[in-house]
Structure 1
Amino acid sequence: MKIDAHQHFWLYDPVRDAWISEEMQAIRRNFLPNDIGQILKDNGFDGCVAVQADQSPQETAFLLELAQVYALIKGIVGWVDLFASDIDEQLAAYKQHPKVKGFRHIVEGEGNPDFLHQDGFLRGMEALTKHSYTYDLLIRPRHYASTLKCVAANPQQAFMLDHIAKPPIKTQEFTEWADFIGELANFSNVHCKISGLATEADWKHWKLDDFSIYIEHVIQCFGKDRVLFGSDWPVCLLAGTYEDSIRIVEDKLADFNQDELNGFWGDNAVKFYGLT
């Protein structure tokens, strides 16, 4: 099964979606599965993982509603308040919705560098592990240290690093990010989405070579069985087409054999998220 492991859907709301700034006019509108279904089919994909873009229980409910209508949504990474006193009960209730595979918080928007290592958050993480849910990591450099602490404290939790931790591709800085990736990849319970890269580059003038050192480093550190593809559609449209998100990675996979390619383009996502 060929899977795009990172897509978003929304009914655009200028207040709720204030993160979509003036320079992001291209995505200031509704994006629903009908808008991507034919594109996925044209590129040989069987479906996608829908990932939260808003931090509310209503977001998870919205994605669940879409998944009931659109078969292309194979799994959902929703949002839940991991600090909630009733987190255990909330997660137990989600078990009646098998397409909910995991959860994410937009940690990159949190100013607290220790967000991922707060006592309340770690209690929520223990509940995730108990109920066998995955957790997607969306971070910035200020969160590197607490990310490593959080992962070290939760060796049984399945983590997915989104967008290879958003390296500074536009400026071609490398060392700080590369050192972090090397440390994080030492934890075998962490996987990595090679996704959302064009929007970290110069939106109008990126070249395929701009991404080489970052993708090669991630593959070298995580290995071929812990990396997988995600487009970050529709956010990727800020810097190119859906096909561009494929081109950015496909020419970096020359030494993958067929089984490894099958893993990268879908099987690794199926295994990590438990897709059917």
Structure 2
Amino acid sequence: MIIDTHLHLIDRNALHYPWLDTVPPLDRDFTHAEYAEEARSLGIEAALHMEVDVAETDIERETAHVERQAREAGSLLRGAIASCRPENADFPLMLKRVLANPFVRGFRRVLHVMPDDLSESALFRENVGRLGATHLPFDLCVLPRQHGQAMALADHAPATQFVLDHCGVPDIKSDAWEPWRTQITELARRPNIAAKISGVIAYADGENWTVETVRPYVEHVIACFGWDRVVWGSDWPVCRLGGGLTRWVHATQALLSGASEEERTKLLSANARRIWRLN
């Protein structure tokens, strides 16, 4: 089975997404029903909803909206990775409220569209450090130029579990192997960081990629982090910019063709169960 650790749902009638009008191919509703029909046919049996950078006033409303969908019969949703603002002084109060809801399995603050030094403030680091006692992971969505900040954040919050999204966002289209390769090696030296095999097809040249195009990047991440610290994500519907969910799942299976059954199980489901404490 596959657990998808990176599913986005978009409902413009319920929530406000300030960034959507800058990405026309994604500027529409993407529903659980649309996703689930394709996902089930590919062996995806459960999914975590990844926050979609809604307006700050809609953050907790987004979690509630997704949770209602999770209660529907046949839903694949098993939890939410919620948005947060560690740079805000009221973060501890938000965390206290959220801890009362077991549907929330982790947090993310989108950093790749923010100033590079956002995560360097003492308040940001202190608040992310609070997550260590909660066992709720923090997803890192950073560009290669921000890898240094990601390492520093992980070092300042050693008890917090981090998950590096999208293989660290390599610029595959430009074949920018370095410094990404070296930085991934350094990131993996931090035992509190895991890596998500997701998103890479969106950083290739549209649909003009093959398994061999993405293989060096995926295999380097797995080699650095090891089979116990990698998870899988669809990045749906963003993956549609690079060919779609079915093509990405088939590519993943091809990339894992030489792995053992135990290794495949760890990446596709077992590690996700452990990191996000899924039943």
TM normalised by structure 2 equals 0.91
Counterpart of 1:9, as a letter, is L
1:269 is matched with: 272
* Whole-Å separation in 1 of the counterparts to 2:24 and 2:192: 37
Does the Cα contact within 8 Å between 1:87 and 1:127 map onto a contact in 2?
A: no
2:100 is matched with: 96
Does the Cα contact within 8 Å between 1:6 and 1:230 map onto a contact in 2?
A: yes
Does the Cα contact within 8 Å between 2:87 and 2:118 map onto a contact in 1?
A: no
Pick from 164, 169, 175: which aligns with 1:166? 169
- Which secondary structure does the structure 1 equivalent of 2:71 belong to? helix
1:43 is matched with: 42
* Whole-Å separation in 2 of the counterparts to 1:253 and 1:35: 27
Pick from 241, 244, 250: which aligns with 1:247? 250
Q: CA deviation at 1:247?
A: 2.4
Counterpart of 1:43, as a letter, is L
Aligned 1:40-189 pairs, distance under 5 A: 40-55=39-54, 56=56, 57=59, 58-69=61-72, 71-111=75-115, 113-189=116-192
- Unaligned 5+ runs, structure 1: none
- Which secondary structure does the structure 2 equivalent of 1:170 belong to? coil
* Whole-Å separation in 2 of the counterparts to 1:192 and 1:119: 25
Q: CA deviation at 1:225?
A: 1.3
* Alpha-carbon displacement from aligned partner over 1:78-115 (angstroms, at most 9, x marks no partner): 0122133232232122122112011101100012x222
Does the Cα contact within 8 Å between 1:228 and 1:269 map onto a contact in 2?
A: yes
1:257 is matched with: 260
* Whole-Å separation in 1 of the counterparts to 2:100 and 2:258: 42
* Whole-Å separation in 2 of the counterparts to 1:237 and 1:192: 21
Pick from 215, 220, 232: which aligns with 1:212? 215
Report how many aligned residue pairs link the two structures: 273
* Whole-Å separation in 1 of the counterparts to 2:42 and 2:249: 9
* Whole-Å separation in 1 of the counterparts to 2:210 and 2:259: 22
- Which secondary structure does the structure 2 equivalent of 1:108 belong to? coil
TM normalised by structure 1 equals 0.92
Pick from 231, 234, 239: which aligns with 1:236? 239
Taking every aligned residue pair, what percent have the same amino acid on both sides?
Answer: 28
